[in-house]
Amino acid sequence: MLAGKRIVLGVTGGIAAYKSVEVCRRLVDAGAHVIPVMTAGAEHFLGATTLSALASEPVQRSLWNEASPIPHTRLGQQADLIVIAPATARLLAAYAAGLSTDLLTNTLLATRAPVVVCPAMHTEMWEHPAVQDNLAVLRRRGVHVVEPDSGRLAGGDVGAGRLASPERIVAACAAALDGGPMAGWRVVVSAGGTREPIDAVRVIANRSSGKQGYAIAAEAARRGAAVTLVSTVDLPGPAGVTIERVETAAQMHEAMARLAADADVVVMAAAVADFRPVAVAAGKWKKDQGAPPIVLEPTPDILAALGAAKPAGQTLVGFAAETDDVVANAEGKLRRKHLDLIVANDVSRPGVGFQHDTNAVTLIRAGGRVDTVALATKERIAGCVLDTVCELRADSSHPTPTPAEPSAEQGASS
């Protein structure tokens, strides 16, 4: 996949710049034509002679001193891929804001090739909201982000922010050139809270914003999947995602059943109303008529129906928005509804779930493995969910539960 590809290797000013030497060597060994571009800051940590000796061309550093009068345009147009390793907080901010301050940032703006960024910085910087917001912007634009590892950092500190290993970085480059790790997959995602009419004006609803479902759909598309999003909310559609608008649980049930039949992955992230009025008043119920006589009936259990009808080879993901006994309740739902993975969150916690831009979840697999993801942006949570889905689909031995009788519970996220 890398053989014969023109790859621009951007190196920015962080202590991890020395690892770019090994990235360069591995790319060249794989047959790629590597053109290194160093920022002024990178030269404080790595000599240009080293990369020039190992790469396919000498290091380029300036907009003004190169042989080409417009080096950024030439690099951007001719590149099959651009990878930035390490990517500092400064580079991420400039790229997200569209700033063209040097050869590397100009090249990033002058390309239509896939871009892979590999952040590396101290834990406090990595976790700063500004950095995470910039990464969220880049992900929405289709940039591939190789998240850093945890480990020993400069100055003897230990934590998240360590540059990903050269093996991971090169693998990410190959995946980006291959169309993404989910290329060829058909993915269906639901998002938002359903609205059940009482009369022509009023509805029974919930506080789901749909942001988590949209983040999952955007991330799946970024990874190369063909994505259909069944949505009840009017948010801007993620790039490359087909949106089907619905409002009620019955409409979502019909859409999900139809679309899931041919899907490789189904993520039921929507918060579906458990009950709806038996009768809907014609027109608007007037206040002087007194309180309307609302009799409720259960809505279709969409997630249970999807689990019962799940075709062989499909991966089904549910959500459980809970306020107590989160793991126990989610595990029960996982078993009853024939799920491969359930994403549970405690929506009573600050910053978690409904209406927030952040979330904290517990990922529970059918085989019993439990992973927790601390409070993070919903974009990052989406990445963790899909990382788990990819692992499950790569592991043909992961257990598939036996379908159970449908229950009245519904899938829910935020």
Residue 229 pairs with which residues in a beta bridge? Answer: 189, 243
Distance CA 209, CA 321 (A): 13
Which amino acid belongs to residue 185? W
Distance CA 185, CA 219 (A): 13
Cα distance from N-terminal residue to C-terminal residue, the chain: 38
Q: Using alpha carbons, list the distances in angstroms from residue 361 to 108, 189, 333, 345, 346.
A: 34, 18, 15, 5, 8
Distance CA 371, CA 384 (A): 10
Which residue do the tokens 């790229």 mark? Answer: 95
Contact 360, 375 (CB under 8 A): yes
* Closest alpha carbon to 10 in 141, 151, 106: 106
Q: pLDDT truncated to tens, each residue of the chain (414 aa)?
A: 899 999 999 999 999 999 999 999 999 999 999 999 999 999 999 999 999 999 999 999 988 876 777 888 889 999 999 999 999 999 999 999 999 999 999 999 999 999 999 999 999 999 999 999 999 899 888 898 998 988 888 888 888 899 999 999 998 899 888 877 898 899 999 999 999 999 988 998 888 999 999 999 999 988 889 999 999 998 888 877 899 999 999 999 999 999 999 999 999 999 999 999 998 888 898 888 888 889 999 999 999 999 999 999 999 999 998 889 999 999 999 999 999 999 999 988 988 878 788 999 999 999 999 999 999 999 999 999 999 999 999 986 444 444 444 343 445 555
CB-count burial class (<10 Å; 0-12, 13-18, 19+) for 171: middle
User: Is the pTM above the cut of 0.75?
Assistant: no
**Residues annotated as part of the active site:** 206
CB-count burial class (<10 Å; 0-12, 13-18, 19+) for 89: buried
Which amino acid belongs to residue 101? T
Domains of the chain: 6-177 (3.40.50.1950), 186-394 (3.40.50.10300)
